[in-house]
Amino acid sequence: MGTLLYVAAPLAVLFVLAVAFRNRRRLRHLRGPPSSFLWGNVRDFTNQQNVGELDFSWLEEYGTAFRMGGVLGEDILMVSDPKALQHIFHKSGYHYPKHVEAHTMSRVITGRGILVAEGTAHQRHRKVMNPAFTAQQLRTFLPLFRKASSKLCQMWKDDVVTDSKGSTFYVNKWLARLTLDVIGEAAFDFDFGALDEDDNEVSNAYNNMFVDSVMHRSKLDTLFRASWNYLPTWVLDYVDYIPTREYKRFRHTSSVIDKVSKRLIDEKTEALLSGGGSSKDAMSILGITFPFT
């Protein structure tokens, strides 16, 4: 045990020094909030009481492009300038690959789909999905959007009229439910029942998922995620199986979505093969354009 400690300690020190050298200030020409070497500003950023408080205060003090400290001395570029964001996300998106942590977390949460794909794989996904997202097809969703929005507005009005105590209700919570319902009907012709608070397995799986698994994460998990940038890809493929509260929640949600997705695909396939696929949801359009047979 003593020999192992003598070997492990110098290796740990060398690793930290190597990371510090690799993360040496590359954005020192940009202003940013004071930060520590170990945590940077990450702990403050992820443990905000109200989302956006720090973001807006830093934006006001340092401008639309500033430097935020990451774990172990890493520099993180924070951008809010509209033209810069258009360049990064729209005009030159393939030149700005996702950070390893963002890429891995997207895979853990959503699986190996278009949200994770990059480069030529992402281009191939987009080409396959384009028929379901033409301007003409998107216009057919407008009545659905109006119907769902009107339903939510009426629910809010009813709450305001009947609530004599003037209690607070959370707009972001209801908007998330609205989004889930709209995505379900527009993409899959599936009613999640989120606005009606139906006992739906998908709604239940997503309910408070990020509160339970992302917000206020532990120091150990913060350091662990920072190490992903230095681990081989095949190791990161096993992140899903870590037996902690956060990753157990991700696995549970992913298993529910996989089960429901398979059922929807089977139902759409059967409907198309029997000639009954007349729905205009995105999955049906893709099934007609690229038959499942």
**DSSP letter for each residue of 230-250:** GS-HHHHTTGGG--SHHHHHH
Of 75-84, 131-140, 245-254, highest mean pLDDT: 75-84
User: Is 13 a residue whose pLDDT tops 70?
Assistant: no
CA dihedral 116, 50, 151, 253 (to 10 degrees): 40
Q: 11-15, 44-48, 263-267: which has the minimum mean pLDDT?
A: 11-15
- The residue among 191 and 161 whose pLDDT is bigger is 191
Q: Are 228 and 104 spatial neighbours (Cβ–Cβ below 8 Å)? A: yes
Q: Are 229 and 18 spatial neighbours (Cβ–Cβ below 8 Å)? A: no
The whole-number average pLDDT for the span 46-59 is 86
pLDDT in tens, 87-103: 998 888 888 888 888 88
Q: Mean pLDDT of all residues in the chain?
A: 81
pLDDT at 5: 46
Domain boundaries defined on the chain: 25-96
Confirm whether pTM is higher than 0.85.
no
Q: Are 195 and 181 spatial neighbours (Cβ–Cβ below 8 Å)? A: yes
pLDDT in tens, 171-201: 878 888 898 889 888 888 888 888 887 677 7
